[in-house]
Structures are given as structure tokens and as C-alpha cells.
Structure 1
Amino acid sequence: MKILDWYILKRYLFTFLMMLLLFIPIGITVNLAEKIGKILENKVPFGEVALYYLNFTIYFANLLFPIFLFLSVIWFTSKLANNTEIVAFLSSGVSFSRFLRPYIIGATIVSLFAMILGFYLAPIASQGFNEFTYKYLKSARHQDPGQNIFRQINDTDLIFVSSFDKIQKTGYNFTLEHIEGNELTYKMFANSIRYSEADSTYKLFNYYKRTITDNGDIIEAQRQLDTVLPFDLEDLMPVNYIAETKPYSELVEFIDKEKARGSSNIGRYEIVKYKKWSLPVSVFILTIIAVAVSSIKRRGGMGFNLAFGITTAMVYVFFDKVFGVLAEQSDFSPIIAAWLPNLVFGILAIFLLYNAKR
């Protein structure tokens, strides 16, 4: 690798790191100023607060690092252009494609880091971040109960609750149907079902069971029944962020399992899976756009380039969020929702790169 490559690569990585180190403390300060009342009110131990902000750092770095990278590349490349360094590089016989090579090497390094972060570290941080949020920072009135939950938990059993309260771990109007072949063998009812963490059992209130046999139906009824049932608590009410907390291999297995159960949240889970791949690719696209725009010396200096960068970053985030919500709440394809922003900005990158070479 030549001096030019090392010079640009070091600036690429160093500026990106400085951008992260600059904005993450600002994000922590703003979040702490907003949440300090809840933290003090709930008397949260200092160790848990420190762990929360460590998870907060990883969680939001994973979400926003392409934008930080984009702005950092525009920043240092604009400085190179204003100092006429890029003109000197190109005047020495270096082609624009050759000039772009250290940027692509830097993007490859950052992309590999993004994959490690998204596949392994971010899920751990997401779980800690969300658990702390729901435990200490969200009031009970903001934790709405699930409504009309119907799930196939295995090949033979289906469950239904009209509503489920995550705080009380209680479901209402519970039904379990056991089907073998195409025939219903028994059906259980209860006015309410409550999960007991102490022994991992369920309490059924006003329990009623009807078993269908060749000799007639067998009826069983009790005011209260403590029993073990063939499903987990998350089967009654999986948390919205559960896909974010799973490493990639576990996420794939989880989605396959949820598809077999007929879950209505498949779009939400699949968008998380596809973004683990689309996010590293966006590093290359945003890098090329940043270089193509900021490598030209302009009369307005860095101001125009930074304004363009911030506007482009906001549009990218807008596309990403809008299509993500569409995939979660409609039949819109999750794979299209995850990759469409990259496709649109990839076309923009090719156009801008072509003009920059000219």
C-alpha cells in the first residue's frame, strides 16, 4: 500500500472514530437529562445505570454509524479539496478510481466491524437497553396489553387469549386446543391465566376442560388449577423488540419457528434480519456518495458539502424508517423494505461518481 493509501485510510478511520466519540457522549448527556427523573424516582442502582449507558452506546452506534461515517467522510474529504490536496493527487497522474481505492479499503474495514456489531454485539446491547427501559423508564400505562393473541405453539396445540398484561403476566379468556390429525381431542378454557416465575407454572382461574372420546365427552372443572403447559411466557406475548436481541443464527431459527406458528409479527422480525446485511452494504454506498460530492473544491467551501451531507443523511433515514414501518405493519415485503434505500442511493452513488470522474 502506497503513501497515498495510508494517508487517506488513516484520515478515513480516524475521522470516523472521532465523530463517534464526539456524538456518543452528546447522546448520553441528552438521554440522561431526559431520564434522570425516572432513574432517581425508581432508585436505580448505579451499576445498572452504568451498564444501561454502555448498552445505550452500542445500541445507537449500531443504528446510526452509517450516518456518522457519511458525515465524517464528507468532512475530511472536503478539507482535502479545500487544501487543494485532491487536485495535487489527480494532477500527478492518479486516476479518480485509484484515488477512491483507500476509501473502499476503509469502507471494507468498517463494514466488517458493522457485521460483527450487528450479528453479535448489538443484540446483547439491545436486550439490556430495552429491559432497563421497560423496567425503570416506562410507566405501566405505556405498556399496553396485547389484544386477541392467537398462536400455534407446536404441531398439535393452539392457544388464544383476548388480552395479555405484560406487567401482571396475566392473560384473559384463555383457550388451548389440542388437535391430532384433523380432530380436536380436547379443549381447555380459563377466565384468566397467570404465569408464576417462582416455579415456572401457570395458574388457571375458573378452569374448564372438555376431552372428546369415542365414549362421549369428559368434562373437568376447577376454580383454580396450578399446572405446567407446553409453551413459554413469550408465546403468550412476545415483546416487540425480541428479534433485536437475538444473534443472527438464533434469529433465523426464531423466524422459522414463528412462521410455523403463524405469527403476525413476521414482517417485524424479518426486517431486523435483512438489515443486518443491508447496513454493511450501505457503508460502501454512502462512502462513494460522500467522496463524489466532497472531492470537488467549491466556492462555498465545506458549508455546501456539509449541508448536502446532512440533507442526504436525513433522506436516507426517512426512507429507511418509512419502509421499515411498512414492512412491520402491512404486507409490504421486508426484503424490499430493507434493501430499497440502498438501491435508490446506490443509483445516486453511480450517477454522482460518474460526474465526479468527468
Structure 2
Amino acid sequence: MNKLTLLDKYILKRYLLTFTVMLLLFVPIGIVVDVSEKVDMMIKNQVPLKDILIYYFHFTIYFTNMLFPIFLFLSVIWFTSKLANNTEIIAILSSGISFTRFMRPYLIGASIISVVVLIMGFYVVPVASEGFNSFRYTYLRTGGKQLMQGDNTDVYRQISDTEFIYVNSFNTETKMAYNFSLEKCNKEKLDYKITASRIQWDPKEKNYTLFDYTKRTVGPLGDEIEKAPEKKMKFKFDLEDLAPVVYIAETLSLGKLNDFIVKEKKRGSSNINVYLVVFYKKFSIPISAFILTIIAVSVSAMKRRGGMGMNLAIGIAVAFSFVFFDKIFGVLAEKSSMPPLVAVWLPNVLFGILAYYLLRNAKR
């Protein structure tokens, strides 16, 4: 019994340690590549050092969460291949331990990492995603004056049966949107239109401040125009309605994201699939830790002619295939009629079947 306990601790320690080392190796590489791509724009826009450091703290979390399956898979392939090359696995199985029993510390390690990833996905990653995207849209596109101008930030939404809002860009840190307009229509006729160069949310007074405010009311005999350099108003829409669709769902914690999805469903939002994909992935990604661990162990537990290099080649191919299918099905759910729940969980189902097949062969 003591021998088995020591074996569990030995494999579990190697599992967690190798995964940590893999993160420490690849995250700095990701940061260096990102710096090399953005350093010219940072210098040009005179980005404060404090904001850069905060950005790369958020980038580390965002980058790790995005490529977590690859890091996990490669780390398991790496140290299990070393065990196989050193004939340690043969010795373990020859002592009477079944392959299923040999898998136990791996599954314990996968459970620990899954819980960490699950909690981070609920609360930590949304904060990091907000900081990551806010920095990128604020400093790296328009010199730090306002957010990116273009299709990815233009927001046009229907907030009621008769009201429509538009903003060109939105800054999550300052809670400010640019080039704002609100139109109210009645039977396909415009009642009035409100425009402002900027609109900012005031959390204390629970209202919005409009800068360069203009309101044009359409009348039967002529239009009435009201102007003011600054005006405070209350609106029916929420602050999140001003944010670009491309990343708003990623910035919300689990509870807020669930409430946001319920609200968008009532509105009949055309972007509901985008939000549902983000919601379902918070649960599907941690489960992939178990599937990828089983595949990695099944592939690398066998001693091959090509040695560790062959196992790593197979591992990299499988890991990137998983990420590829995950991204492809996610895009299909967002852009087509494929149900988001099916699209998000389909890669886990497909690779789960592969894991079962490989595990059966490995036992033999």
C-alpha cells in the first residue's frame, strides 16, 4: 500500500511540476512575441509603463487560458515519454499494477487543474480579458485617444421595439463610448435622434453624461433641435450594450454573463450564439483536461523507436487538432445555425471517443 501511495505522489508531482514548467517556458515566449509585434506602437503612442505591466499581467492569464489544452497535453506527453524511455512504466506494470490503476494519479492531477481552470474561467479570466482587450483597443489602434475605429468596434443594437443605439467604439476602463447616437422610431418614421461625440457612465449617479449633445425632434411643420455642450440623462440600455460584441461576453463573470444572456434572449439579440459559446466553454474547457490527459498517457506510455521525439510529434499534432476543432466549431456556432451547446461540446465528444479507443489499446 505504501508503495502505491509513493507511486501516486511521484507521478502526481511530476504531472503538476511539468505542467508548471511548461507554463513558465511558453508564457515568456508568448510575451516576447507580443512585445516584438507591439513595441513600435507602444512607443509611438507613449503608453505608460504602469499600463504596459498591467497589460502583460492580464495577457499572461488570457494567453494561458487560451492555450491551456496545448500546455497540458505537451507536459503529460513529455514526462510520460521520459518514464517510458527509462522503462519505469514497464517496471510499474510488471509489478502487478494495472494500467487503469497507473492512470489514477494522472486523473487526480487532471482534477486539480480542472478545478483551478474552472474557477479562473468563472472569475479571473473575465477580468484579465477586459484588461487585455481594453489596452489593445485603447492604445494599439488610435494613439490612446479613443478606441479602434472599424467594423470590430462598431456597435448597433436594438434596445426596444422602437429604439436603436449606435457607438463607434467603447473604452471599458473609462466607461466611455464615442460617436453615440440613439434613434426612436414610430411605424418606420423617425420621432427623434440624439447624438453625442462621447457618452460616459456615472456609477455614482447612475446616469450618463453626453458631451456635444444634440437632439433633433421631427415635427409635422419642422424639426426642433436642442444642443448642449454637456448633458446628463438616464437611458433604458445598460453599459454593456455599448461594448463591442467581439469581447463583451469574455469580460463578464459567470453570474453576470448568465444574467446578460437572459436579458439578450428577451431582446431577441442576433448575437446570442456568441454569448452562449463563451458561456458553455467555461464548462467544456476544464473537462478537456481529463480527455487530453488520457490521450497523452495512452500515446506516450509505449516505448517507440522514435523515442520522445516521436511522442512529442504525435502530441503536438493531436493538441493542435483539438484547438483547431474547438475554434472551428465555435465559429460555426456563432456564424451559422449550429446549436452552440453542440458546437462547444462536440470536440470533447470526438476526442473523448479517441481517448477511449487509445486507452483500450494501451491496456492491451
Measured against the shorter chain, the TM-score band is 0.7 to 0.9
Provide the rounded CA distance (Å) in 2 between the counterparts of 1:324 and 1:88: 43
The structure 2 residue matched to 1:170, chosen from 157, 171, 179, is 179
CA offset at residue 142 of structure 1? 5.4
What corresponds to 1:214 in structure 2? none
Provide the rounded CA distance (Å) in 1 between the counterparts of 2:78 and 2:355: 18
Q: 1:148 to 1:287 in 2, by over 3 A?
A: closer
Match status 1:197 vs 2:200? yes
The structure 2 residue matched to 1:58, chosen from 61, 64, 72, is 61
Q: Deviations over 1:135-163 (max 9, x none)?
A: 1112489531566834134xxx64225x5
CA offset at residue 104 of structure 1? 0.4
Q: 1:190 to 1:106 in 2, by over 3 A?
A: same
Q: 1:198 to 1:15 in 2, by over 3 A?
A: closer
Q: 1:197 is paired with a residue of what secondary structure?
A: strand
The structure 2 residue matched to 1:315, chosen from 309, 316, 321, is 321
What corresponds to 2:267 in structure 1? 261
Q: 1:332 is paired with a residue of what secondary structure?
A: coil
What pairs up with 1:270-285 in 2 under 5 angstroms? 270-285=276-291
Q: Deviations over 1:318-350 (max 9, x none)?
A: 101111111122222111111011010000000
Q: Deviations over 1:247-303 (max 9, x none)?
A: 111110011111112211111111000000000000000000000000001111111
What corresponds to 1:248 in structure 2? 254
What corresponds to 2:101 in structure 1? 98
The structure 2 residue matched to 1:151, chosen from 154, 158, 161, is 158
Match status 1:228 vs 2:236? no
Provide the rounded CA distance (Å) in 1 between the counterparts of 2:262 and 2:218: 31
What corresponds to 1:181 in structure 2? none
Provide the rounded CA distance (Å) in 2 between the counterparts of 1:96 and 1:335: 33
- 2:155–2:242 CA contact under 8 A, matched in 1: no
Provide the rounded CA distance (Å) in 1 between the counterparts of 2:34 and 2:74: 22
Q: 1:280 to 1:323 in 2, by over 3 A?
A: same
Give the AA of the match of 2:159: Q
- 1:190–1:208 CA contact under 8 A, matched in 2: yes
Provide the rounded CA distance (Å) in 1 between the counterparts of 2:50 and 2:154: 36
Cα RMSD (Å) of the superposition?
2.5
- 2:240–2:248 CA contact under 8 A, matched in 1: no
Q: Deviations over 1:122-144 (max 9, x none)?
A: 01111111100001112489531
- 2:245–2:271 CA contact under 8 A, matched in 1: no
Bigger shift: residues 16-25 or 237-246: 237-246
Give the AA of the match of 1:108: S
CA offset at residue 189 of structure 1? 2.0
CA offset at residue 194 of structure 1? 4.2
Aligned residues: 341
Q: Deviations over 1:152-210 (max 9, x none)?
A: 34xxx64225x5321671245x42258xxxxx8x9632274444338723465351156
Provide the rounded CA distance (Å) in 2 between the counterparts of 1:264 and 1:114: 29
Provide the rounded CA distance (Å) in 2 between the counterparts of 1:128 and 1:257: 24
Provide the rounded CA distance (Å) in 2 between the counterparts of 1:227 and 1:59: 36
Bigger shift: residues 242-251 or 140-149: 140-149
Provide the rounded CA distance (Å) in 2 between the counterparts of 1:196 and 1:326: 34
CA offset at residue 224 of structure 1? 2.8
Question: Gaps spanning 5+ residues in structure 2: where?
Answer: 171-176, 203-207
What corresponds to 1:324 in structure 2? 330
The structure 1 residue matched to 2:347, chosen from 324, 341, 346, is 341
CA offset at residue 117 of structure 1? 1.1
Provide the rounded CA distance (Å) in 2 between the counterparts of 1:5 and 1:51: 39
Bigger shift: residues 81-90 or 41-50: 41-50
Question: Gaps spanning 5+ residues in structure 1: where?
Answer: 179-183, 211-216
What corresponds to 2:135 in structure 1? 132
What corresponds to 2:80 in structure 1? 77
What corresponds to 1:213 in structure 2? none
- 1:148–1:160 CA contact under 8 A, matched in 2: no
Q: Deviations over 1:96-141 (max 9, x none)?
A: 0000000000000010011111111101111111100001112489
- 1:73–1:291 CA contact under 8 A, matched in 2: yes
TM-score by length of 2: 0.86
Q: Deviations over 1:224-258 (max 9, x none)?
A: 36462422454355442111011111110011111
